[in-house]
């Protein structure tokens, strides 16, 4: 008999932010955010330009001093620690490779500082270059490499140190679309392979959805919502998340009963009771365009007129004017010979109540 029991399914938290705030003169770049990032996660910080993503990342890395709040790496409070004493490494947006050093020396920089020498040093540098698929370039200088290659070197230079957490600040921003898509998958593969926690900053929701298993959406210095890509898409918590992550139809409504709202022109609509979360009065309900059917058949029904239709191969997109506002609908072209409705045609839209979510009405709407 032993009295000591292991804590149930211990999840290790690698990064913990506690009420972190950063003020630049009169700008509040990061406004009181708290966050736990678990070990081994591919974590994305998503948000529009200027929302404070980089500032948050720079504070974790130790390049910016927080105005208030604490930062923990594992158990350790690192808030006042200089960056060279933190067990994190960063891939900068501009890569910041040392132009005067060879690729080998760039990658070896951190290892040398920590006293790795000789064969061990050589082996680890070459392994890191192999991991990013750039063996054989170790004698070149950074400026002799393409943008994509430099990006990989920056990644190798950080990963070779086996940090507790790897910070990436829009590392794919400078690459063209095709290379970016390829690198997204590559990064994900590498993260699986090394098992290090990645914190990835991006303003591209598609990129965040593709790569991350946890996403935090930020807006003007605050956290709007944290969750898995599915959470954010299926159950957005705010109007901002609903329209920033994918496309949403937001319709103003008034709560008229449990699981029941009335749209502005009077139509009664059923919604899951849970999504109202005890709200009364004004709400905005949201439906994703691909969850709406053309024609009746589901419980919630709305009549309208086609304003525009666009055939884009895999699907057809409609803008439908309804008394409750304009609604966009996306129909998969999964049957042969499907014909699109033309502008001006009257039709009925319907959708499953379970596909409906409710959020606070966005600011600035009456």
Task: Return residues touching ligand ATP (CB under 6 A).
Answer: 24, 27, 29, 47, 49-55, 203
Strand order in the sheet with 165-169: 88-91, 165-169, 197-202, 42-46, 214-219, 222-227
Q: CA 317, 318, 321: angle at the middle one, nearest 5?
A: 160
55 interacts with, out of other proteins, Mg ion, ligand ATP, none, CB within 5 to 8 A per kind:
ligand ATP
Residue 238 beta carbon to ligand ATP: minimum distance, rounded to whole angstroms:
17
Angle formed by the axes of helices 118-131 and 147-159, to 10°?
130
Distances (CA, A) of 141 to 1, 105, 144, 236, 250: 62, 10, 6, 46, 52
Member of 54, 56, 89, 225 binding other proteins (CB under 8 A):
89
Nearest approach in angstroms of CB 58 to other proteins is 8
Closest CA to 289 of 330, 231, 347: 330
When the beta carbons of 165 and 269 are compared against other proteins, the nearer one is 165
For the window 152-191, what string marks contact with other proteins as x by the rule CB under 8 A?
A: -----xx--x------------------------------
How many residues interact with other proteins (rule CB under 8 A)?
25
Measured distance CA(220)–CA(230) in Å, rounded: 23
Exactly one of 54, 55, 90, 150 binds other proteins (CB under 8 A); which one?
Answer: 90
Q: Which two tokens stand for residue 166?
A: 């790897």
Residue 33 or 134 with smaller CB distance to ligand ATP: 33
Of 194, 39, 198, 42, the closest CA to residue 124 belongs to: 194
Q: Is 169 within 8 Å of 154 (Cβ atoms)?
A: no
If you ran DSSP here, which 8-state letter would residue 333 be given?
-
Q: Which does 129 bind (CB under 5 to 8 A by kind): Mg ion, ligand ATP, other proteins, none?
A: none
Contact call for residue 100 and other proteins (CB under 8 A): yes
Task: Give the three-state DSSP class for 103.
Answer: helix
Which residue of 47, 110, 221, 236 would you call a contact of other proteins, by CB under 8 A? 110
Using CB atoms within 10 Å of the CB of residue 257, give its burial: 0 to 12 exposed, 13 to 18 middle, 19+ buried: exposed
- Three-state DSSP at 28 gives strand
Query: What is the CA angle 244-250-255, rounded to 5?
Result: 130
Q: How far is the CB of 89 from other proteins (least distance, A)?
A: 6
Are 300 and 263 within 8 A, CB to CB? no
Single out the residue of 54, 89, 205, 214 in contact with Mg ion (rule: CB under 5 A). 54
Instruction: Work out what residue 110 binds among other proteins, ligand ATP, Mg ion, none; the CB cut-off runs from 5 to 8 Å by kind.
Output: other proteins
Residue reference for tokens 């972190």: 20
Half-sphere exposure of 100 (CA within 13 A, CB side): 0
In the window 27-46, what residues touch other proteins (CB under 8 A)?
Answer: none
Q: Which positions from 129 through 158 interact with other proteins, judged by CB under 8 A?
A: 141, 157-158
Choice between 54 and 89, CB closer to ligand ATP: 54
Select from 61-69, 180-188, 288-296, 336-344 the region that touches other proteins (CB under 8 A): 61-69
Q: How far is the CB of 50 from Mg ion (least distance, A)?
A: 8
**Interacting residues toward other proteins by CB under 8 A:** 61-63, 82-85, 88-90, 92, 94, 96-100, 109-110, 113-114, 141, 157-158, 161
**Interacting residues toward Mg ion by CB under 5 A:** 54
């Amino acid at each position: 008999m032993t009295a000591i029991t292991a804590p149930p399914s211990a999840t290790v938290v690698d990064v913990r932010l506690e009420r972190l705030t950063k003020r630049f003169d009169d700008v509040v770049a990061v406004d009181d955010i708290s966050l736990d990032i678990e070990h081994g996660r591919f974590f994305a910080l998503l948000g529009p330009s200027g929302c404070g993503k980089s500032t948050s990342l720079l504070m974790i890395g130790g390049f910016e001093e927080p105005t208030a709040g604490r930062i923990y790496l594992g158990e350790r409070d690192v808030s006042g620690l200089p960056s060279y004493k933190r067990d994190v490494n960063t891939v900068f947006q501009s890569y910041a490779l040392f132009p005067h050093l060879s690729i080998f020396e760039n990658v070896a920089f951190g290892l040398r500082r920590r006293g790795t020498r000789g064969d061990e040093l050589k082996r680890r540098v070459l392994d890191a270059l192999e991991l990013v698929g750039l063996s054989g370039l170790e004698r070149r200088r950074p400026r002799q490499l393409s943008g994509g290659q430099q990006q990989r070197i920056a990644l190798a230079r950080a990963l070779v140190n086996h940090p507790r957490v790897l910070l990436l600040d829009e590392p794919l921003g400078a690459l063209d679309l095709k290379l970016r898509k390829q690198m997204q998958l590559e990064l994900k593969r590498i993260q699986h392979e090394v098992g290090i926690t990645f914190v990835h900053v991006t303003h591209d929701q598609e990129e965040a959805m593709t790569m991350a298993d946890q996403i935090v959406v930020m807006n003007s210095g605050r956290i709007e919502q944290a969750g898995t890509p599915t959470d954010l898409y299926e159950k957005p918590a705010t109007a901002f998340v609903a329209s920033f992550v994918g496309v949403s139809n937001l319709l103003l409504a008034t709560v008229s009963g449990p699981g029941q709202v009335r749209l502005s022109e009077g139509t009664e609509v059923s919604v899951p009771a849970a999504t109202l979360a005890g709200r009364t009065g004004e709400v905005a309900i949201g439906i994703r365009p691909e969850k709406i059917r053309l024609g009746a058949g589901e419980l919630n029904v709305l009549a309208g007129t086609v304003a525009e239709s666009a055939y884009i191969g895999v699907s057809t997109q409609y803008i439908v004017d309804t008394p409750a506002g304009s609604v966009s609908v996306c129909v998969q072209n999964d049957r042969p010979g499907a014909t699109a409705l033309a502008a001006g045609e009257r039709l009925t839209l319907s959708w499953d109540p379970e596909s409906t979510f409710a959020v606070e009405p966005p600011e600035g709407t009456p």
